[in-house]
Chain A
Amino acid sequence: MAGLTGRMSTVVKAKVSKLLDRAEDPAETLDYSYQKQVEQLQNVKKGIADVVTAKKRLQMQEATLQQSVVKLDTQARQALSGGQEDLARTALERKNVAQTELQGLDTQVAELEDQQQKLTDSEQKLRAKIEAFRTKKEVIKAQYSAAEAQVRISEAATGVGEQMADVGLAMQRAVDKTENMKARAGAVSELEAAGTFDDITALGSGEDDIDHQLKQLSSQPAVDDELQKMKGELGQASAAPAAQIPAPSGDAAEAPPAEAPAPDPAGTAGEAGGPAEGQS
Chain B
Amino acid sequence: MIVRISGEDQYRLADDLHGQLDQLAGAAHAAVDAEDEQGFALALKELLDFVRAHGDVVGDDEIETSDVILPPSDTTLQEAAREFTGEGLLPD
Contacts and interface: CB of A to CB of B under 8 A. Distances in A.
Interface of A: 1-5, 7-9, 11-12, 15, 118, 122, 124-125, 128-129, 131-133, 136, 155-156, 158-160, 162, 165-166, 168-173
B90 A162 contact: no
A7 B88 contact: yes
Contacts of A155: 63, 65
B4 A166 contact: yes
B88 A11 contact: yes
A124 B8 CA distance: 12
B6 interface: yes
B13 interface: no
Contact of A124 (B6, B60, B86, B91): B60
B65 A162 contact: yes
Interface in B1-49: 4, 6-7, 9, 21-22, 25-26, 28-29, 32
Given A7-B83, A158-B65, A160-B63, 10 more contacts: A5-B70, A9-B68, A12-B66, A12-B69, A15-B92, A165-B90, A166-B6, A168-B91, A171-B91, A172-B90
Contacts of B61: 128-129, 131-132
Interface in B55-81: 60-72, 80
Contacts of A8: 6, 69-71, 83, 89
Contacts of B25: 1, 3-5
Interface of B: 4, 6-7, 9, 21-22, 25-26, 28-29, 32, 60-72, 80, 83-84, 86, 88-92
Q: Which 5 A-B pairs have the closest CB atoms?
A: A128-B60, A159-B63, A3-B29, A172-B91, A132-B61
Contacts of A132: 60-63
A173 B9 CA distance: 17
Contacts of A159: 63-65
Contacts of B86: 7
A35 to B, nearest CB: 17
Among B4, B22, B83, chain A packs the most CB atoms within 10 A around the CB of B4
A169 B60 contact: no
Contact of B84 (A7, A15, A156): A7
A124 to B, nearest CB: 7
